[in-house]
Chains A and B, each alone.
Chain A
């Protein structure tokens, strides 16, 4: 009971501190803007720990953060193998192949009006469908190893990137294109100098959406068969053994990998589209 009371106390304390910071005079500084979410996160973890300890929640229902940390530390080598198998081999290679294929396809579609008219509605339609469902088929075709996971990721990231890039390449105004024409710029000159830069915010939107999709695709594909390594494999077997601390450790890895991946793409975006209004301060 003491622990539960303590949890309530910690929650109120954290919230009070955040309220002070957020409504205080310094709320617009960088430090406070980082501090507030950090305090919120730490409060959540503390409350979780205290509640699990105080109410004696069994480990098979919800392990406490310290249990998860212990499992994380004890299985470091296993986790890094899983990370390599699923993220580096499966998700990353699929992401690179899928995004570059979509990008090239978008350029072809941009050059031909007929193709764009025909393919864009189809692409838009496919982008909204549950493509994860192709996983069993692709696992059947490409085998259990990482190749099938990469194939699932390729299919999943292809359409969001395609649709966004095509939309982006049409972003320039007629006036700007006319200006390029008065300069006697060739197609590729105006493509690289005008249309590609103008398309970049859209392209990055697609790329950012795809980072999550890539990881999801690689993990789900492993539910349909995988070698005895990989994050999806570990999650489904650990659930079977009721080793939930291990599942949570994998989730931590997935969360870190996903956030880092997203962060890297967002940073690239910041570097390449520094001129865009959304990036200016």
Chain B
């Protein structure tokens, strides 16, 4: 209860701060528009206002305060503007029965989500396979693991445009190039977490299995795999967030026309700040839902295995 109150307080402070920040951020644009519409602005003339402080301008022109929260192309849109845009491109579209229209964020979200999920599945599958290899083969451990760690320090995004161009030139396009970038990003968290998890049974437990005369296979299925589950889910949560980032970034360098990344880029080209913010929030909500979904699955799986805390 205390936490809920605290979180709500923090959130309301953030929103209040956001509204307040809109004033100085947008005031110059608003005043220019107001002057053109014939209102009396102190001081007159955009040139005179250019070097003045934004806060002073807000104080001198109280009448313009409401307008800073209702501009068409603000530098910083007010929270309710973003909310309205989000509703217009999601809920309102559904009510009109055009859920998958190109103006709907469901459409763009789905484009990004499908690449994310495909990439996440590929990355997780390969990551688990590699981890199993690393745990069972000393050669793989010694030769692959250091490179896996080094590759974490490489900004993988740098590869994104190239992957897309190369795959395009060999005839692969659409969802797969983006999925590959997603897979790459979710791959290493899974490898590292899974290796740690598969190694988490301690010597005593391994010895016990040996006294049972368990084979390598039996030891893997009965002890190592179940023991790795908590580690796996922790890294899956990191991996799916990374996958989403990968899919969004994969849409940037090619000038894709669909997807949340394309909305970001389009908004940035045409100065549609409200569109950028709503795409950003859509991405954030999507990421939060995916992580929460994994959390639910984690709780269910661990509970059935008798490991829930």
Contact status of A215 and B155, CB under 8 A, knowing A40-B143, A130-B248, A140-B273: yes
- 16 additional contacts, CB 8 Å, given A132-B248, A133-B248, A236-B253? A22-B138, A37-B147, A118-B8, A119-B10, A130-B283, A215-B155, A220-B249, A224-B252, A231-B158, A236-B161, A250-B158, A251-B158, A254-B154, A255-B150, A262-B152, A262-B153
**Complex contact A129–B267 (CB within 8 A):** no
CA distance A261 to B146 in the complex (A): 16
**Binding stretch for chain B, among A94-102, A179-187, A239-247, A271-279:** A239-247
The prevalent SS among residues of B at the interface is helix
**Complex contact B138–A23 (CB within 8 A):** yes
CA distance A90 to B307 in the complex (A): 45
**Complex contact A239–B283 (CB within 8 A):** no
* Among all A-B residue pairs, the 8 with the closest Cβ atoms: A118-B6, A136-B268, A118-B10, A40-B143, A117-B6, A37-B146, A262-B153, A258-B153
Q: Give the distance to chain A from B236, nearest Cβ to Cβ, in Å.
A: 12
**Complex contact B142–A61 (CB within 8 A):** no
CA distance A132 to B138 in the complex (A): 38
**Which A residues touch B249, using CB under 8 A?**
132, 220
Annotate B152-181 by CB proximity to A: 1 below 8 A, 0 otherwise: 111111110110011001100000000000
CA distance A18 to B142 in the complex (A): 9
**Complex contact A235–B158 (CB within 8 A):** yes
**Complex contact A122–B264 (CB within 8 A):** no
Annotate B192-228 by CB proximity to A: 1 below 8 A, 0 otherwise: 0000000000000000000000000000000000000
Q: Which residues of B contact A (CB under 8 A)?
A: 2-3, 6-11, 14, 75, 138-139, 141-147, 150, 152-159, 161-162, 165-166, 169-170, 237, 241, 244-245, 248-249, 252-253, 260, 264-265, 267-268, 271, 273, 276-277, 279-280, 283-284, 287-288, 291
| Nearest B residue to A242, CB-CB | B165
Contact status of A122 and B7, CB under 8 A, knowing A117-B2, A133-B279, A247-B161: yes
CA distance A12 to B237 in the complex (A): 37
CA distance A36 to B146 in the complex (A): 10
Annotate A211-231 by CB proximity to B: 1 below 8 A, 0 otherwise: 110011001100111000001
**Complex contact A137–B277 (CB within 8 A):** yes
Q: Does A69 contact B (CB under 8 A)?
A: no
CB<8 Å pairs between A and B, sample of 15: A36-B143, A40-B144, A118-B8, A119-B10, A128-B237, A128-B241, A130-B241, A140-B75, A212-B152, A212-B154, A219-B158, A232-B158, A254-B158, A258-B153, A262-B152
Partner of A239, one of B10, B165, B284: B165
Q: Give the distance to chain B from A188, nearest Cβ to Cβ, in Å.
A: 25
**Which B residues touch A122, using CB under 8 A?**
7, 10-11, 14
**Which A residues touch B280, using CB under 8 A?**
133-134, 137
**Complex contact B170–A129 (CB within 8 A):** no
Q: Does A4 contact B (CB under 8 A)?
A: no
Q: Give the distance to chain A from B7, nearest Cβ to Cβ, in Å.
A: 5
Q: Does A39 contact B (CB under 8 A)?
A: yes
Interface residues of A in 3-21 (CB under 8 A from B): 15, 18-19, 21
CA distance A18 to B279 in the complex (A): 49
